[in-house]
Structure 1
Amino acid sequence: MNDEIKFPANVILIDVAFLNETVCSAKNFLENKLGRKLPDIDLPAWLSYLALDAGLREGENEVEVLLVHTQAGHVLRCCEPSDVDKLNHQACRTPLGEFAFSSVTSSGFVSTEELFLDLMNLALDSADVKCLMLLPFHQVYGSRVEEKLAGFFKDKSEEEKGKAVYFTLEEPMEPVHCRWEPVIYSLAHVLGIKSDEL
């Protein structure tokens, strides 16, 4: 399987359920806090902000966006575009480079969690991948992603530890030995929320 998958230098691995549950809940929370309706999330713009947080800069970067989901969960609830099936094999260009989308569906034999972990492991092991941006559904996965990251990066050099960027709402309870970034700042930015409003 490892020989069949060719990754570009930059990969964003997203569990669609995380986006639909956690990200939409955060958007609703911010709407209530600010007392105003917020726009749907511009998906390419948000992914660009995530990539900037991960260290990418303007250029001809190639970014593969892997959207992991169940067969039933193919709609991005608070995003535009929202149809995962229509996004599959599509691409868009931003000042950072080209973002290419792939829809990866879990079958009845494998859960989205197992599929996410398998893809994460393949990308971590790939010499081609220089930056792996991870957005798992960590509330459901528990500590499995964090344990894998901690085990993989524990004895690596500081430069090697920069390969993965773990995006969550809250800081991990245990060290993951790679970069951690809060997802809320990129969300606020794409929703047009100023830092002094948070």
Structure 2
Amino acid sequence: MADNETLRTIAARHSIRMFTDQDVAPEHIQALLNAANQAPSAHNQQSWRFVVLRGQKKSELAKLAGDRAADFPKPSSSLLRMAARSINSAPVVVAILNTGELIARGEKLFKLEHPGVGDFFRTMEIQSSAAAVQNLLLAATSLGLGSVWLGILFLIKEDVRRFLGEPEGEFMAVIPLGYHERMTKGPNKIKTDVVTRYLQ
């Protein structure tokens, strides 16, 4: 399968946290957003939003992460500061949020009444947005761009959501994008057969 371009892109993708000051072309950003928007979503509800940050707003997001780092113990505070540096280093950042629309409309849409139904629809929104994030990450790799999913910002997700100007919903991901400051190799992965079972 070594000649399969999609599989090569998946194998090549790994997190890049520091970037050069080379800008990312608008057409490349649009291609990444289009790729994210093509992700599968629960019952095609597409309950996600993408927010592109550059310049001053990007710097303000980095400052927010850096300032809030003091409110957490190590290693969380260290990871938040590292995230702030990645945001500052990248020429562009894409944030992805869930709108909460599926959660709000799910019971009526699927005629479900159950104590845990809210968790059910929230999980479906998270799964959908995670698929969009993965599409974006792989598309970035295919275009020669580095990226990283800053999961640590989930610790301050309400602050991030408000900063992004979304009145409701849930912050999911912040992804700095740019060209690698230096070439790095991804981490070693656990062998597939170790994490796989077959049932017949």
Same-fold call, TM > 0.5? no
TM-score by length of 2: 0.25
Higher helix share: 2
TM-score by length of 1: 0.25
Larger Cα Rg: Structure 1 or Structure 2?
Answer: 2
